[in-house]
Amino acid sequence: MKDTFKNDIDKGLSAPEKTLPSKYFYDKIGDALFIKIMNLPEYYLTKAEFDIFKNQTQHIIKGLKISPDRYFELIELGAGDGTKTKELLKVLSNNNYLFKYIPIDISSNALEQLESRFTEELPAVKIAPKQGDYFHVLDSLKASKHPKVVLFLGSNIGNLTDTEAESFITNLSAVLNTNDKVLLGVDLIKPEHIVLPAYNDKAGITKDFNFNLLNRINSELDANFNLDHFYHAPEYSETTGVAQSFIVSKRDQEVRIEALNKTFSFRNGEKIHTETSRKYNDDVLRSILKNSKLTIASKLLDSKEYFADYILVK
């Protein structure tokens, strides 16, 4: 684990255009910062998707074509704190749907917390958490011939480049059977004055979230990044629909990383790419689905039309 971190940091900072993988945001401190982000007034994504789950639950159920008398597996990739999913589970449970809820996450800590909350708040729901990476676990679920509904919410797919998203979708499609469904939550392409503040909040929490990467390198790899010598600078283009976060050097400087036995130089104004947050529309999604067996069956929007939950069918 540690070696991958070390190698990934080395590779990213040695590249001509410096980059650090956003997956390393999520240590204990990063998890807590992300919860704060979801509660920020500027971060509309979570509120918009919650609006869909809370107010259009029957539309979701209808779109998934599930019925109370036919058992199915409800699988969630990267469940997080499960606040949105709980709205759906409540309605399914109250209407006596027969199903098992299978949250999958790489973090066993996150899964344990989710399981204890859900068993308390939704005692009638069967929950079977699985720890591991998505495709390992999905592969192990392939053997069961029960109908499957896979939730991939929160615009988590937005962290992938289009090429990565295409191969993710191909892999996902491969572990599903005909008629299985995917509920895919994506942030929609919209004007810059709405998107940018979500990644550049007034309270500076998103800055801390990005800078947590430098803190991790300092403490885990014995480095001497001076955080005062960098600033946080997200960018967004409504034309491409891609938001990107950068950490920018305020001066010409050198940073020593002892664990790598290396010194890295940063020019004044040089950018380190830290995250891609892709926004979608029908065309972008269709192009990502084009070589898979998944197609768009329906689409649900929040009241502000900021966010979409697409129902895909194999």
Residues that bind ligand AVJ (CB under 6 A): 37, 45, 154-156, 158-159, 199, 206, 209, 275, 277
Block residue for tokens 């720890």 = 131
Instruction: Report the C-alpha gap between 311 and 309 in whole angstroms.
Output: 7
- Comparing CB distances to ligand AVJ, the nearer of 85 and 277 is 277
- Comparing CB distances to ligand AVJ, the nearer of 56 and 277 is 277
- Comparing CB distances to ligand AVJ, the nearer of 5 and 199 is 199
Distances (CA, A) of 23 to 4, 118, 124: 12, 26, 34
Tell me the closest approach of the beta carbon of residue 113 to ligand AVJ, in angstroms.
17
Distances (CA, A) of 105 to 75, 137, 152, 204, 251: 11, 9, 11, 28, 40
b/e burial code for range 62-73 (CB count within 10 A of at least 16 → b): ebbebeeeeebb
Nearest to 49 by CA among 40, 41, 38, 58: 38
Say if residues 182 and 294 touch (Cβ distance below 8 Å): yes
Q: Report helix, strand or coil for 277.
A: strand
Block residue for tokens 């392409």 = 189
Instruction: Report the C-alpha gap between 75 and 93 in whole angstroms.
Output: 16
Instruction: Report the C-alpha gap between 205 and 199 in whole angstroms.
Output: 9
Structural tokens at position 154: 């929160």
Tell me the closest approach of the beta carbon of residue 183 to ligand AVJ, in angstroms.
15
Strands 230-232 and 235-237: unpaired
Say if residues 295 and 280 touch (Cβ distance below 8 Å): no
Tell me the closest approach of the beta carbon of residue 234 to ligand AVJ, in angstroms.
8
Closest residue to bound ligand AVJ by CB: 277
Instruction: Report the C-alpha gap between 27 and 213 in whole angstroms.
Output: 9
- Comparing CB distances to ligand AVJ, the nearer of 87 and 275 is 275
Structural tokens at position 29: 């401190």
- Comparing CB distances to ligand AVJ, the nearer of 37 and 172 is 37
Tell me the closest approach of the beta carbon of residue 276 to ligand AVJ, in angstroms.
8
